[in-house]
Structure 1
C-alpha cells in the first residue's frame, strides 16, 4: 500500500534541501562580494552610510595625532615679549601632553598663552600642539609662576607625542620637523624661548634604550635647537615610569635604569642643560590615574615642582 503521508514528507525534504542550497549560495556570493568589494556590497554600504550619522567632534589632529584645532578655542592677540615674559618650549611624550586626569586653564586670562601655529590662545586643557584631549599641567605651571610674581606673562609652546622614543626627536626622526616648525613660528612672531622643558623617557625604558644611546640622541636634539637659535637652558626631567600593559608600559619599574642614568648625566654632558623635575621619585602610585599618566594630584605636584625650579633658577 502507498503511504498517504510519504508524498508530503518527500516534498518537504526537497523544499528544505533547496532552501539550504540557496542559503549556501547566497553565503558564498556574500563572502565573495564582501572580500572583493563586488556588487551588492558597495550599494549596501552606500545605503547604510545614508542612514548613519557621524558624531561631530570639536577636535582636529595632524598625522602625528597632535591636536591642531579645537572648536572651543579662539585666537587672541599675541602679546609682546618683555624681559618679564617666560616663553616655554615644552617637549616630551604623553606625560607632557594632554593625558592627565585633570584639566587646567589660565586663571589670569591672556597672561598665560598657548602658542600654536603662529597664533596665540588663552591656555586651557587640552593644549594645542600636544596629543590627547584630557588634562595637562603646563597651564597650571603658568598660573603658579604668575601667582608667585616670578614673571608677568607665560607663553606655552608644546610639542608632545605619546609613546615617542627619543630617536624620533633627533634630526632624522619624524617629530623633529614639528619641533623646528614650532621654533621658527615662535621666532617669526617675535618670541625668544627662555626655557626648554623635556619630559620623556617612559617608552625608552620599555624598549630598553641604552644609557649612551639615549644621551647621544638627546644631544642631537639639543644641537638642532641651538642651530635654530634656541639658546635657552634645557631642563631634563628624570622620567621613565609607566606601568600597565594597556599603557604600553611594564609590570614593574626599576628606579636606577639606563634611561634615568642618562637623564641624570645630561646636565654634565653639554653647556646649558640643567636638571628638571624627577617625576619618578616625586609621584606615588595614587598620583597616577592609570599607573602611568598623572592624576590630578600628580599634575599639581609636578606643576609646583616645575614652578619651584624655574622661579628659583635664573
Structure 2
C-alpha cells in the first residue's frame, strides 16, 4: 500500500514539474493542450476600444471625434503636413482640443474632424501639441483657419520615409488625399532624428534619405517650405535611448547642413536646445511645459517667415 501511494505521489510530482516546464518553454504537451483549450473554449475576446489602427499602427479611427465639413482653403489658411517620429506623433504628455471649433481641424482620409488629441493619422493615443499650435496661430491673427494633416510614426528612422521605405507610399497617399480635398500644403513640419542617432546613422546617410523624401514631396506638387527640426535627444534605455546626450552628433550636423542646403528646406525648432528635463515627462517625450514651449517656438518661426514672404 505504501509503495503504491509513494509511486502515485512521485507520478503527481513528475507531472507537476513536466507541466510547469512544458508551459515555460512551450514544449509538449503544453502547446497541444493549449491549442485544444482554444478550440473548445475559443479565444478570449479583446476588450472593446474607441480606437482603431492600421497596419502601420497609426490611429485611423476614434469614436470620440466630431466630424465637420472641411473648411475651404484661403490665403489665410495654414495647411500643415506633420511628419516624423514620436515627438511629432501622439506621444506628448498633454492633450489639447480646438478652441475655435471647426477653424482648427484634423484632416484625415479626405474627411475633417474638430482637432483634438490624439490626432488621426499618427501613431499612439496620448497627447500632441499641434492642436495647441493651431489655436495659437489663430489667436495671434496669423491665420483664420488651420488644417492639421499628421503623418508621424513612433520610432521611425529616416530611411523609412525615403524612396523604397515602407512609409514613403503612405506619404504619397496622404498628399494625394489632401490634394483631392482641394488642400495645398503651406508648410511641412519634420520632427525626427532620435531613432537615427541611436542606430548610428551617418550624417551622409541621413542627408541622402531626407533629400529622397523631399524629392517625393516635390514630385507630387508640394512646393511648401520643409522645416527640419533639430531633434536627436531621447534619453534612457526605456525609451530606446542613451543615458546621456551629446549635442554635437552626426544627426544634428546633418540636420543643420540640410537646413542651409536650399531646396526650400528651412531650419525648424531646435527641440534639443529648447527643451530641458522638466519639459520631457520621461526624459524623451514632450510634457505639458514642453508642449507650450515648442508650440510657441513654432508659432514665432512660422509668423516670422510669413512676414518675410509678405515683404518680398
* TM-score clears 0.5: yes
What are structure 2's unaligned runs of at least 5 residues?
307-312
Q: Which has the larger radius of gyration?
A: 1
Write the mapping of 1:102-181 to structure 2, written as runs, cut at 5 A. Answer: 102-181=94-173
Hey, what does 2:28 align to over in structure 1?
32
Higher mean C-alpha deviation, range 268-277 or range 190-199: 268-277
- Distance change in 2, residues 1:33/1:171 (3 Å): same
Q: 1:268, 1:290 → 2: CA distance?
A: 32
Q: Secondary structure at the match of 2:90?
A: coil
The answer to whether the aligner puts 1:201 opposite 2:222 as a matched pair is no
Partner of 1:42: 35
Q: Distance in 1 between matches of 2:249 and 2:16?
A: 60
CA distance in 1: counterparts of 2:208 and 2:12, whole angstroms = 67
Report the counterpart of residue 310 of structure 1 in structure 2.
302
Q: CA RMSD in A?
A: 1.7
Aligned residue number for residue 247 of structure 1: 239
Q: Which runs of 5+ in 1 are unaligned?
A: 1-10
The residue number in structure 2 matching 1:270 is 262
Distance across 1 between alignment mates of 2:258 and 2:12: 72
Distance 1:54 1:173 in 2: 32
| Aligned counterpart, 1:8 | none
For residue 234 of structure 1, report the CA deviation from its aligned partner: 0.5
User: How many Å separate the matches in 2 of 1:238 and 1:48?
Assistant: 53
Instruction: Tell me the secondary structure at the aligned position of residue 312 of structure 1.
Output: helix
2:267 alignment partner, SS class? strand
| Divergent runs of 4+, >6 A | none
Taking the aligned partners of 2:15 and 2:232, their CA distance within structure 1 comes to 57
Q: How far apart are residue 215 of structure 1 and its match?
A: 1.0
Quote the residue 1:189 is aligned against.
181
**What is the CA distance between 1:175 and its match in structure 2?**
0.9
Structure 1 length-normalised TM: 0.91
Count of aligned residue pairs for this structure pair: 300
